[in-house]
Amino acid sequence: MSYRFEAGRIYRMPTHFGPAPGPRQMPDGVTRDPKRSPRRLSVAASFLTDPVLLEQHLPDGFTLAGEPVVTVEFHHMTDIDWLAGRGYTMIWVSWPVTFRGQRDRATGKFLAVVWENLADPIITGRDEIGHPKLYAEIAEPRRWNGAQICTAGWMGFRFLELEVSQLQDADPHRQATASDGTLMLKYTPRTGAWGETEVCQVTLTPAADPDNHIEQRQTGVGTVRFHKAGWSELPTLHHVVNALAALPVVEARGGTVTLSRGGKSYRDQRVLT
Amino acid sequence: MSYRFEAGRIYRMPTHFGPAPGPRQMPDGVTRDPKRSPRRLSVAASFLTDPVLLEQHLPDGFTLAGEPVVTVEFHHMTDIDWLAGRGYTMIWVSWPVTFRGQRDRATGKFLAVVWENLADPIITGRDEIGHPKLYAEIAEPRRWNGAQICTAGWMGFRFLELEVSQLQDADPHRQATASDGTLMLKYTPRTGAWGETEVCQVTLTPAADPDNHIEQRQTGVGTVRFHKAGWSELPTLHHVVNALAALPVVEARGGTVTLSRGGKSYRDQRVLT
Amino acid sequence: MSYRFEAGRIYRMPTHFGPAPGPRQMPDGVTRDPKRSPRRLSVAASFLTDPVLLEQHLPDGFTLAGEPVVTVEFHHMTDIDWLAGRGYTMIWVSWPVTFRGQRDRATGKFLAVVWENLADPIITGRDEIGHPKLYAEIAEPRRWNGAQICTAGWMGFRFLELEVSQLQDADPHRQATASDGTLMLKYTPRTGAWGETEVCQVTLTPAADPDNHIEQRQTGVGTVRFHKAGWSELPTLHHVVNALAALPVVEARGGTVTLSRGGKSYRDQRVLT
Amino acid sequence: MSYRFEAGRIYRMPTHFGPAPGPRQMPDGVTRDPKRSPRRLSVAASFLTDPVLLEQHLPDGFTLAGEPVVTVEFHHMTDIDWLAGRGYTMIWVSWPVTFRGQRDRATGKFLAVVWENLADPIITGRDEIGHPKLYAEIAEPRRWNGAQICTAGWMGFRFLELEVSQLQDADPHRQATASDGTLMLKYTPRTGAWGETEVCQVTLTPAADPDNHIEQRQTGVGTVRFHKAGWSELPTLHHVVNALAALPVVEARGGTVTLSRGGKSYRDQRVLT
């Protein structure tokens, strides 16, 4: 007898061994404390760039919202509940947009690309959330000479450097900009019919994250550098990295270093139409 | 102006930076030689198991075909063209099945799970082919004391050991069993509607692979061991590993070590209905 | 003109490119703050074992001091100044001894073996201090289900598991046992005259470490497990691991989890005779 | 009872668990076949440089012999017997010298620095042979577009790129230059007496290696590039890398790609005086 999918349970490939454990589906008997997990060191820097170039990387239905400011964030996470206390690091590249769909409209952060140094959350994020996650080797952020230094590469080719220096303590509870949340495009190609689309959906992470508590926040001078690569150096990433490297830094817009705890599982992720 | 998808080109998340380079879409100007790439050292071992247990890991529409023999294969690949000459290793777990769909019918190898030690082919394979790929740390197969030894783990927990010993040279051009190819289930969960299905398709890799040339083949005694794990040890894999560890080894069915060159890009992958 | 060694500067192989930067010799112009660097998460567990077996792993001139209690400590360090803010993890295995030399006498911790997951401090420690350092893959200690969990392996073979559970807050400023410090044996074989000794010295790290400040301390139930290995699995470590695995756990002696900052560079290391 | 060193057996730190297994001391019962192990893919490139700069990196007693040609070699080894069939990669940087000691005189290759991507042979090589070995992340050499490409880095900073292109088959059995072998300086600093020397010896690997058999040899155009680094990027290596990056490439002197099997254990290593 072949198996049946259990109703109401999340599956991922391979589906043949039961529902898939992950951030949005913990095993029975394992309790989580979203106020404590994960612990997160976030290092971010922003820069003003050319709006015309930036728009070329927006899907249909999206427009820039306000200034064309690109933000790159490293999130070094530990104490992750769904990994039984292990950690990993993610990099977010985003800019502010408005999405106007047939029914929905939302303004917030457009998550253009994510890099992570662990394959497991790449798989869960791409499949369940629509996170545009790719793999990178990411060093744990290091503090040296009063600066927080972050780097990322692939097979030994360093393609991203971010630094926040001249750090000063800041109010951890500053008012965030009004936002509907984080927007992204979930996409799956069609097998066999090459060039056709199987899934193409705008998905939204609503802004609210009530269990996330900021413990410490510093601001400083931020610098971001993407390094252009040949195809032979980054055969799966060069189109992404080179597009970002081609964005001019018209003006630096500062950086932050934030220490926080807790957060949601993205079970509130939803499709916009 | 937002971007448009170029017709006839394969995209993957993130789609915002142009068509995605990969095994089925090389950059313009890069020529490939499918008779030379990749170079592949394959180490495989099989065992007879309990058909009732095995069937519980077959999706709807599939039945066992012939004896319930599980085969585990390590493919250590180098000289991969779409990675500009780099390599990685994949592990295949499969058994023989027949699929009967509404229109299609095929008998071949059911690819139940794949592990790979590089995230990039995990992403391309899941999205474009429906390969049920997960991540593992995989040692390069080593030859010691007349045996070929393969191991795999996750974050330092070794969950799989495979060994082929008492190796003897064999005819590289033996007649393969008649087969329509390799069958798998492409699956994507629906975002927001947790527990629902976005994509669920049977896909087939046709058996023919004319550019693959076997250079050397040896046969021997094969042993396979999956190690049961607690959730805390393999939080994303324990359901898969424990299901495989629970399959009894009723009888060992031998092993092979094969050296080959060349192979197809899986552009012939198609959906069965 | 060949080079000359600069007087008063520490060299290591290769000596041909100038004095060697390291924990005891920072480059000019780089200031260090020994009260802040490194940050250290220490997880330790102890057990009573068989004194006769333990003595077989003591060099000439050493005797057990008090109870034969083996302590295994994981030190996960970040913010290390001589690595420009990077980190690594070390494992210490020790038991209490007295050394009686021709001139010197000291009682303290006998550091029998050290594993680290970074080659650079292995080299500096072996050459300059006499630290008996070997390489291991060491996971960052993780906290799960109220326990602190540590593991170590080599090429995917996990040879050590340590866990401290049922954690309770403890006084960070407890009185340490009176000790002269940490004792070890610096040894280098003679090239060409195989089996002969080039360097064999007892060295001591004096106990005082005034810049080390304990921020938090917890105590709990500790368990330690070394896994016996065949030569083929741990070809460079099996003699060490198997000797430790053969020590019976007569009685568990508790564990601790400690968070601290600051520490000395071991410039006070000296040879006993 | 403390332990005694067994006569005629090689020890390394930690000495407390018996003689140390390694390339020059295999466990009893393990037989080796020096004609088969290791398998070695060697990629080398040379360049003519400034003799005055090069001499500044020669120890006392050494002079340049003939043209100041620096050779950088990557040796990717697999099937290593003393690692039970595993492999690793080493990088050699050398130039031709004559050593004149009080008693001995030898002309050959001066091995200025070695990098390896495995700590275990770094330890055995430094201690037993006097190999000036340091750690680096080293990619498996890859073949792309008719060139063999090699890279090395440390914590994601790529400091060395070597490429041999326009490859043509060459006679594998060419006559090697007359040489007494490979010369290096074994050095250990003195503990406690910082700046003093404990061991400083010239050691020699005699040229003969009768079990090494070259299977294939290609020659081509070679390029070598060392990338200058700040201390913060390469805190343990910058003095070495920057000295090599400062050597001008006066003229490229070609490259080779060699496939070979077998080799000696360096038991013939000896001290010159």
CA angle (A83 as vertex; A79, A88 as ends), nearest 5: 65
Is residue A95 assigned to a domain?
Answer: yes
Domain span at residue A177 reads 34-272
- % residues pLDDT > 90 (chain B): 96
Q: For position C174, what pLDDT does the model report? A: 72
* Pair type for strands A251-261 and A39-48: antiparallel
Assigned token pair, A48:
């003003």
Give the residue-averaged pLDDT of C170-183: 86
pLDDT surpassing 90 at residue A81: yes
Is residue B82 assigned to a domain?
Answer: yes
**Chain A interface mutation, best of C26, C76, C118, C144, highest count of A Cβ atoms under 10 Å:** C144
Task: Find the CB nearest D158 among A139, A149, A156.
Answer: A156
Domain count, chain B: 1
Residue C230 neighbours by CB under 8 Å, 6+ apart? C238
Give the residue-averaged pLDDT of A247-252: 98
pLDDT surpassing 90 at residue C264: yes
Give the residue-averaged pLDDT of C163-180: 88
Residues of A in contact with B21 (CB under 8 A): 231, 235-236, 238-239
Assign residue D233 a region (left: φ > 0; alpha: ψ between -120 and 50; beta: otherwise).
Answer: alpha
Q: For position A129, what pLDDT does the model report? A: 98
3-state secondary structure of B266: coil
| CB contact (8 A) between residue B236 and residue A22 | yes
Q: For position C14, what pLDDT does the model report? A: 98
Residues of C in contact with A149 (CB under 8 A): 85
| CB contact (8 A) between residue D157 and residue A158 | yes
3-state secondary structure of D259: strand
pLDDT in tens, A41-72: 999 999 999 999 999 999 999 999 999 999 99
Q: What is the mean pLDDT of chain B?
A: 97
Positive or negative CA dihedral for D205, D209, D212, D213?
positive
Is residue A251 assigned to a domain?
Answer: yes
The Cα–Cα gap between C158 and C226 comes to 9
CB C70 within 8 A of CB C54: yes
The Cα–Cα gap between A46 and A48 comes to 7
Residues of C in contact with D205 (CB under 8 A): none
Neighbour-count burial for A8-30, b at 16+ CB within 10 Å, e otherwise = eebbbbbbbbbbbbbbbbbeeee
Q: Diameter of chain C by CA atoms?
A: 65
Positive or negative CA dihedral for C152, C157, C159, C164?
positive
**Chain D interface mutation, best of B31, B143, B145, B149, highest count of D Cβ atoms under 10 Å:** B143
pLDDT band for position A115 (50/70/90)?
A: very high
Interface size A-B, in CB pairs within 8 Å, comes to: 239
Is residue C22 assigned to a domain?
Answer: no
Positive or negative CA dihedral for D50, D53, D58, D62?
positive
| CB contact (8 A) between residue D139 and residue A156 | yes
What CATH number corresponds to the domain at position D193?
2.40.400.10
Task: Find the CB nearest D156 among A137, A144, A232.
Answer: A137
DSSP states of A150-173 = EEEEETTEEEEEEEEEEEEE--TT
Q: For position B174, what pLDDT does the model report? A: 72
Q: What is the mean pLDDT of chain C?
A: 97
pLDDT in tens, C130-155: 999 999 999 999 999 999 999 999 99
CA distance D41 to chain B (A): 13
**Chain B interface mutation, best of C155, C162, C233, highest count of B Cβ atoms under 10 Å:** C155
Q: For position A177, what pLDDT does the model report? A: 74
Chain B segment 136-155 residues within 8 A of D by beta carbon are 139-140, 142-144, 149
Q: For position B175, what pLDDT does the model report? A: 66
Q: For position C20, what pLDDT does the model report? A: 98
Residue type, A65: A
| CB contact (8 A) between residue A86 and residue C140 | yes
The Cα–Cα gap between A117 and A89 comes to 6
3-state secondary structure of D125: helix
| CB contact (8 A) between residue D197 and residue C133 | no
Cα dihedral angle (A213, A214, A215, A221), rounded to 10 degrees? Answer: 170
Q: For position D31, what pLDDT does the model report? A: 87
Give the residue-averaged pLDDT of B105-119: 98
Say if residue B189 is preceded by a cis peptide, omega within 30 of 0.
no
Specify the DSSP class assigned to residue A25: B
Backbone angles phi, psi at B65, to 5 degrees: -120, 110
Is residue B26 assigned to a domain?
Answer: no
Q: What is the 3-state secondary structure (H, E, C) of C161-175?
A: EEEEEEEEECCCCCC
Q: For position D178, what pLDDT does the model report? A: 83
Burial class (CB in 10 A: 0-12, 13-18, 19+), B160: buried
Specify the DSSP class assigned to residue C237: T
Residue type, D214: I
Q: Diameter of chain B by CA atoms?
A: 65
pLDDT in tens, C238-262: 999 999 999 999 999 999 999 999 9
Is residue A196 assigned to a domain?
Answer: yes
CB C54 within 8 A of CB C64: yes
pLDDT surpassing 70 at residue A175: no
Element (H, E) at B95: strand B88-100
Q: For position D218, what pLDDT does the model report? A: 97
Task: Find the CB nearest C156 among B145, B153, B232.
Answer: B153
The Cα–Cα gap between D172 and A110 comes to 58
DSSP states of A31-90 = ---TTTS-EEEEEEEEEE--HHHHHTT--TTEEE-SS-EEEEEEEEEES-GGGTT--EEE
Tokens 């090699």 appear where?
D150
Q: For position C166, what pLDDT does the model report? A: 97
Q: For position D175, what pLDDT does the model report? A: 66
The Cα–Cα gap between B240 and B136 comes to 12
Is residue D265 assigned to a domain?
Answer: yes
Backbone angles phi, psi at A248, to 5 degrees: -70, 145
Tokens 């399959």 appear where?
B247
Q: What is the pLDDT along chain D (273 residues), one digit of tens a residue?
A: 899 999 999 999 999 999 999 999 999 989 899 999 999 999 999 999 999 999 999 999 999 999 999 999 999 999 999 999 999 999 999 999 999 999 999 999 999 999 999 999 999 999 999 999 999 999 999 999 999 999 999 999 999 999 999 999 999 887 667 899 999 999 999 999 999 999 999 999 999 999 999 999 999 999 999 999 999 999 999 999 999 999 999 999 999 999 999 999 999 999 999
Is residue C2 assigned to a domain?
Answer: no
Q: Which other chains touch chain D, taking contact as 3+ CB pairs less than 8 Å apart? A: A, B, C
Backbone angles phi, psi at C120, to 5 degrees: -60, -50
Burial class (CB in 10 A: 0-12, 13-18, 19+), A134: buried
CB D210 within 8 A of CB D262: no
